[in-house]
Amino acid sequence: MKEKALLLYSGGLDTSVMIKWLQEEKGYDVVTLTLDVGQEKNDLTAISQKAELLGAVKSITHDCTSKFAETFISMGIMSNGMYSDKYPLSTSLARPLMAELAVRYAHENACGVIVHGSTGKGNDQVRFEVSIKALDDSIKVIAPVREMNMNREEEIEYAIRKGIDIPYGGKYSVDENLWGRSVEGSFIENIGNSVPVDAYRWVKPLDDATDTPEEVAITYENGIPSALNGKKMSLKSLIIKINKLAGMHGIGAIDMIEDRVVGIKSHEFYECPAAITIIEGHKYLESAVLSKRELKVKKYIDEQFSEMVYGGLWHDPLMGYICQFEQTMNEPVSGTVHLKLYKGNIVHSGLESNNSLYDHAASTYGRGQTFDQKMSPGFIYVYGASTVASRKIRNKQFQEISLEE
């Protein structure tokens, strides 16, 4: 009996070529796994039929969009997950879920090998392989694109030779899911170019963005969005709706020169309208309900979360502790945030929360204020004592940079 390999199969050129290659060059029986994580074109039945036509002994499809939203994206929201403060980790967050399902189906189908379509230059190979190995170190991983070292032209030739129909993928390399769309390659590779309009799909380029501003109200419960404009809905539906809404207003286009895990800088274009809007609202709500010290510590942990997710370390035990921290810190993050969307901007338009630490009576300059201003001079005396003392001793040194003429 032949050994079985489980292939993460998207239906695109790379992974279609792999079905043949694994059978013919490596002698495996191929089981394909196609996952729906909310990508736009996802006719799972057609993809599965194509796999079988190319000789797969079994083709599995699995819609994990809700799981992706509820377990992975929700952690991304609670942690304000952004790599380098710019990229909401859309591709990064989906990979550990895909790895988990690949391991599960490999076990169920007695496959000792998992095959993925990533290249040897990107982050995805790292994410898939660290996760798969962390879940089951005995599984062998094969990355044919990396191993064959084929370029796109060679792949197309191989496909033609083997009678594989070549899907029209456009000129860019695109990865899509509910949380965003990553686009790279072609003109985007030249950092001297601005991102061409034909790379946009989810976000209206600013010139075409809707002329009238629009207000949305997002309700968060323990950090997770639960209603849009007062209407309760699943996180998945809410994200789909905000992707459309915010995209129309030109929000969520991200042009980024990115530092990959493998040390390469790359120029990537992202479209993440819902992610950008939801995280903006989440941060605004946090600023009202968390204390200054909590915000500071949380910001540091948020950054560690983002670095680890980007770097493929979702299945590291530390990630579990970070997620526990994030969940605890999000317990008071409940309330409704109003945001105005207009021409690429998100403008705060108020918030309501029962947990807000904002005390109007303490901050007001108006009547009825409760803050005892007479306490401030004593505070300033103690707070400034060290500065006043050291300035007396080192006065000479500072005279040189003084503003006095």
Closest by CA position to 23, among listed 5, 38, 36, 39: 5
Q: Which residues are catalytic?
A: 14, 95, 124, 173
Among 143, 145, 159, 174, interactor with ligand ARG by CB under 6 A = 174
- Binding residues for ligand ARG, rule CB under 6 A, total 13
Contact string (CB under 6 A) for ligand ARG, positions 47-86, x = contact:
----------------------------------------
Question: CA–CA separation, 152 vs 138, rounded Å?
Answer: 32
92 binds ligand ARG (CB under 6 A): yes
10 in contact with ligand ARG (CB under 6 A): no
Shortest Å distance, C-beta 183 to ligand ARG: 5
**173 touches ligand ARG by CB under 6 A:** yes
Smallest gap from Cβ 354 to ligand ARG, in A, equals 37
Q: Which is nearer to ligand ARG, 123 or 306 (CB)?
A: 123
131 part of the interface to ligand ARG, by CB under 6 A: no
Interaction of residue 32 with ligand ARG, rule CB under 6 A:
no
Using the rule CB under 6 A, which residue among 23, 42, 123, 177 binds ligand ARG? 123
CA distance 178 to 204: 18
Nearer to ligand ARG, 83 or 342 (CB): 83
Q: How far is the CB of 28 from ligand ARG (least distance, A)?
A: 25
Distance CA 243, CA 235 (A): 12
Of the candidate spans 73-81, 119-127, 225-233, 240-248, the one that interacts with ligand ARG by CB under 6 A turns out to be 119-127
Residue closer to ligand ARG by CB (options 281, 312) is 312
Does position 326 interact with ligand ARG (CB under 6 A)? The reply is no
Phi, psi of 326 (to 5 degrees): -65, -40
In angstroms, give the least distance from the CB of 63 to ligand ARG: 21
Instruction: State the minimum distance, in angstroms, from the CB of residue 16 to ligand ARG.
Output: 16
Question: At which residue do the structure tokens 């945001």 appear?
Answer: 339
Using CB under 6 A, pick the residue from 100, 155, 268, 280 that binds ligand ARG.
268
244-263: contacts with ligand ARG (CB under 6 A): 258
Return the residue of 14, 100, 129, 184 that touches ligand ARG, per CB under 6 A: 184
Q: Which of 10, 91, 177, 330 binds ligand ARG (CB under 6 A)?
A: 91
- Which of 155, 175, 286, 326 is close enough to bind ligand ARG by CB under 6 A? 175
Nearer to ligand ARG, 116 or 298 (CB): 116
**Distance in angstroms between the alpha carbons of the first and the last residue of the chain:** 90
Residue 329 touches ligand ARG, criterion: CB under 6 A: no
182 belongs to the binding site for ligand ARG (CB under 6 A)? yes
Whichever of 95 and 298 has its CB closer to ligand ARG, that residue is: 95
Q: Can you tell me the distance from the alpha carbon of 85 to that of 52, in angstroms, rounded to the nearest whole number?
A: 43
Contacting positions for ligand ARG (CB under 6 A): 91-92, 122-124, 173-175, 182-184, 258, 268
